[in-house]
């Protein structure tokens, strides 16, 4: 079911925040299949309207088969907000001054969603790949949803961008993520492997137009890779995260088929499933494993965790 008015929202068990509906469904297909299979009520909040060339949105029939509701907030996507977002490189590595107002608007909207849904499990994009709409969705959600005694907040790895070797580590470094001593760290990647896989990623083939755009993407990605080398996950002062491995459900494959249909967006559901299986093997999980990053309470100046009053 599609919902367009905030007033029509009711209670939900699980809440997924996304720049656009398909991104949450593709990134979290196994988790969603597990939750709907257990009878939990699932809502996807799609903050932005579709970008030009994004393809068709999941149909009402597909959403019914998946078992989720979608709230479409309808904020303008990057290309509709500013003429500066004309290229993939601008969207992935740039930031327009006018986005501050958009961030405030998105956070205010999510506050209303939080009050009405009172979801116990909230999923937020990690914003791997750096698209500005994903970054804004991440920042607005982290601002709105804090971990509480009655609520888990998990960051999901944006697929298929997360399949590029080293991309998740770079994003964690950008956030200054701090991990517990025993937590496994996202794998490194050599610079040549990272750049090659970025340039050949199926979901970017139609977005990187021309040699000039590819060159600018390479240079920008090179700077990000270099900046991430100094990240120390044990001493960083950013978000405190704990990796959680979800042993993916086989039902996630049917979610991918329902979301993508015959489209080749993200490389098509068969190509995406193959990349997901390869990535899951690297995580050390089953063939459909997904990794999430549990947001832990922040620390005060004395090093103690800041718990909400209710705790």
Assigned token pair, 62 = 């597909």
The pTM assigned to this predicted structure is 0.92
Regions of the chain short of the pLDDT cut 70: 53-56, 248-250, 262-264, 299-311
- CB-based burial of residue 61 (10 Å sphere; 0-12 exposed, 13-18 middle, 19+ buried)? exposed
* Per-residue model confidence (pLDDT) at position 310: 29
* Per-residue model confidence (pLDDT) at position 262: 61
* Per-residue model confidence (pLDDT) at position 301: 46
Q: What sections of 145-231 are H helices per DSSP?
A: 167-175, 191-200, 210-228
Q: Which domains are delineated in the chain?
A: 2-295 (3.40.50)
Mean confidence (pLDDT) of the chain: 89
* Per-residue model confidence (pLDDT) at position 56: 65
* Per-residue model confidence (pLDDT) at position 263: 66
* Per-residue model confidence (pLDDT) at position 53: 67
Element (H, E) at 156: strand 152-156
* Long-range CB contacts for residues 195-199, cutoff 8 Å, separation at least 24: 195/221, 195/222, 195/225, 197/163, 197/164, 197/165, 198/164, 198/167
* Per-residue model confidence (pLDDT) at position 307: 40
Contact 214, 207 (CB under 8 A): no
- Helices 132-144 and 99-117, axial angle in degrees (round to 10): 50
As a whole number of angstroms, the distance between CA 311 and CA 292 comes to: 24
* Per-residue model confidence (pLDDT) at position 302: 47
DSSP string, 4-70: --GGG----SEEEEESSHHHHHHHTHHHHHHHHHTT--EEEEEEEPPPTT--PPPPHHHHHHHTEEE
């Amino acid at each position: 079911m599609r919902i367009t008015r905030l007033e029509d929202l009711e209670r939900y068990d699980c809440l997924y925040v996304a720049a656009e509906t398909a991104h949450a469904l593709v990134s979290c297909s196994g988790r969603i299949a597990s939750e709907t299979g257990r009878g939990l009520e699932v809502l996807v909040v799609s903050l932005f309207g579709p970008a030009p060339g994004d393809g068709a949105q999941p149909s009402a029939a597909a959403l019914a088969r998946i078992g989720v509701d979608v709230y479409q907030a309808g904020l303008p996507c990057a290309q509709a907000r500013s003429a500066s977002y004309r290229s993939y490189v601008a969207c992935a590595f740039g930031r327009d001054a006018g986005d501050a107002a958009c961030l405030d608007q998105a956070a205010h909207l999510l506050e209303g969603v939080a009050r009405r849904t009172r979801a116990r499990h909230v999923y937020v994009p990690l914003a791997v790949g750096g698209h500005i709409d994903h970054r804004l969705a991440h920042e607005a959600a982290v601002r709105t949803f804090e971990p509480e005694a009655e609520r888990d907040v998990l960051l999901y790895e944006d697929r298929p961008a997360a399949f590029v070797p080293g991309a998740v580590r770079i994003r964690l470094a950008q956030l200054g993520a701090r991990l517990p001593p025993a937590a496994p760290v996202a794998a490194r990647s050599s610079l040549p492997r990272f750049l090659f896989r970025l340039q050949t990623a199926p979901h970017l083939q139609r977005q990187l137009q021309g040699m000039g755009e590819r060159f600018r993407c390479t240079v920008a990605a090179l700077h990000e890779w270099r900046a991430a080398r100094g990240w120390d996950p044990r001493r960083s002062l950013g978000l405190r995260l704990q990796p959680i491995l979800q042993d993916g459900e086989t039902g996630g494959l049917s979610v991918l088929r329902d979301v993508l249909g015959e489209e080749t967006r993200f490389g098509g559901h068969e190509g995406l499933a193959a990349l997901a299986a390869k990535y899951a093997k690297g995580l050390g999980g089953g063939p459909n494993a997904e990794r999430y990053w549990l947001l832990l309470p922040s620390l005060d100046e004395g090093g103690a965790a800041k718990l909400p009053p209710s705790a």
